[in-house]
Amino acid sequence: MYSRINYTLVGIFVLLFGAALVAFGFWLARYGFHRSYDRYVLVFDEPVDGLSPDSTVHLNGVEVGRVTAIELDPHNPARVRVTIRVNSGTPITQGMYGVLKAQGITGLSYIQIEGGSSSAPRLRARGEQVPIIPTRESLMHRLTSNAPKILDDLNASLASIRQLLSAQNRKHVEAILANTERASRRAEDLEERIIALAGDFNRTLHRFDERSAQLIDDYHRIGKRLDERIDPLLDRIEAAGRNFARLSRDLDRKIRRGEYDLRKIVRPIRIDISELSHQYQDLAQDLKELSRHPSSILFGAPHPPKGPGE
């Protein structure tokens, strides 16, 4: 009895477990069948080597979908149409573009979607057509397409280098270097001369400053000497004029009073006439000395020449 009950429990457990597995499988199948995707088309103007159905699609480095179909454009065999599906709700906006990229060193490729902005509107289809994502040329294709031109440029550069390093050009370079060395030596000599001239110029400026200061001192000294020499001469002329005017007034006054005796008239003013005569003699002597030696007014009277034995 106990053995029959155990087999019954085991059988019931197996049936329940199998039913649960079947239900779980149906649930997984139903979930997978009803998962929604957004379809897009990319048109490449280059070979899509390494790309195959079920290759991954990335948006800024994050996997968001898979490649579903790869076919040639019926209107232009040089172009390849690639249909992809991405998870529903993936923000594919206007301004984004697709690029074919290599996946490591395996030779496989995937599609990378880049660009765009979060504020750009979503990419929509026109009518019943599938939205088309623009593409750009991949780095590998640019390198391979430009490789012949790069090789040609490299060969031309090597030829130019060989021509540049020819024996004749090496001689020219050696001559240029020799001329440059001579020019450098001349430049150094010129620099030394300029430094020497600058020193002479500075010394000349220093002497000029000293001479200017001396000239200013001489100017002040000459002005002082002029004041010392001219002021007495002017005083002497002014005094003589005053005496002569006074003598004239006295003579006129006496004549008006009726004094016609010249002895009586002249006797009182004889002293004034004598003094006036001495003043005019001194003035005439000074003027005569000034006419013979004009520089004496500035530098004083010249020393008389020494006599014999002096």
Give the model's pLDDT for residue 243. 67
Q: What gap in Å lies between CA 63 and CA 111, rounded to an integer?
A: 10
Domain ranges of the chain: 35-137, 207-299
Q: What gap in Å lies between CA 233 and CA 282, rounded to an integer?
A: 10
Q: Which of 15-19, 58-62, 175-179, 282-286 has the highest mean pLDDT?
A: 58-62
Write down the H helix ranges in the chain: 2-33, 139-164, 167-256, 262-292, 296-299
Q: In 3D, which of 41, 35, 10 has the Cα closest to residue 113? A: 41
Give the model's pLDDT for residue 287. 61
Q: Which two tokens stand for residue 102?
A: 């290599």
* Amino acid, res. 37: Y
pTM here is 0.42
Residue with structure tokens 């000239």? 215
Taking 70 as the threshold, does the pLDDT of residue 89 lie above it? yes
Q: Which of 199-203, 232-236, 269-273 has the highest mean pLDDT?
A: 199-203
Taking 90 as the threshold, does the pLDDT of residue 298 lie above it? no
Give the model's pLDDT for residue 265. 56
CB 136 within 8 A of CB 98: yes
CB 55 within 8 A of CB 68: no
Q: Beta 62-73 vs 56-59: how paired, if at all?
A: antiparallel
CA angle at 37 for the pair 34 and 38, rounded to the nearest 5°? 150
Q: What gap in Å lies between CA 191 and CA 193, rounded to an integer?
A: 5
Q: Which of 141-150, 194-203, 288-297 has the highest mean pLDDT?
A: 194-203
Average pLDDT, the chain: 77
